[in-house]
Amino acid sequence: RGLMDSDAVLASVWSLVRSFDQPQRYKPFVSRCVVRGGDLEIGSVREVNVKTGLPATTSTERLEQLDDDEHILSVKFVGGDHRLRNYSSIITVHPQSIDGRPGTLVIESFVVDVPDGNTKDETCYFVEAVIKCNLTSLAEVSERLAVQSPTSPLEQ
């Protein structure tokens, strides 16, 4: 089984997180994504199609921050048929040793208005459940990429 150093592990996870134009690489609820204008830069807007099963079909999202040095991605929802008004999130990726092996700590924080007819607890429970699914999938996809990486030196 291949081992990667901490920089390679961080780079692998960050490559997935930073892909504003391809959130479906690890976000299981995204079926399709198109970035308006094509170029990926601060202020870029993506149109996301959501898979059935969630109380939405589309989301329009703007890239607020993308820092490849500090590994920070920030996104704000600016439209769509969901009920998450004024939603914005910040994802940060940090090197972290896990059981003595190189790993990453991914933190996603968010702010959102509580929709009419819902409580703060219900809203947070829903958003946190989606984030948890995304982060679980991120771990699985990045581990799969790490195993497939041809540059990983083999453990002796």
pLDDT tier, 5 (very low <50, low <70, confident <90, very high otherwise): confident
Res. 14: pLDDT tops 80: yes
77-116: b (≥16 Cβ within 10 Å) or e? beebebbbeebbbebbbeeeeeeeebbbebebebebeeee
What is the pTM assigned to this prediction? 0.88
Give the per-residue pLDDT at 136. 96
Alpha carbon distances (Å) from 44 to 64, 112, 154: 8, 21, 40
Determine how many CB atoms are found less than 10 A away from the CB of residue 10: 21
Q: Which residues pair with 67 in a beta bridge?
A: 72
Average pLDDT over residues 118-125: 95
Give the per-residue pLDDT at 48. 96
- Assign a CATH topology to domain 6-147: Alpha-D-Glucose-1,6-Bisphosphate; Chain A, domain 4 (3.30.530)
- pLDDT of 26-46, one tens digit each? 999 999 999 998 778 999 999
Give the per-residue pLDDT at 52. 77
Res. 82: pLDDT tops 80: yes
The residue ranking higher by pLDDT, 98 or 19, is: 19
Average pLDDT over residues 4-8: 80
Give the per-residue pLDDT at 151. 53
Give the per-residue pLDDT at 85. 92
Dist. CA 119–CA 145, nearest whole Å: 39
- pLDDT of 56-81, one tens digit each? 899 999 999 999 999 999 999 999 99
Q: What is the mean pLDDT of the chain?
A: 90
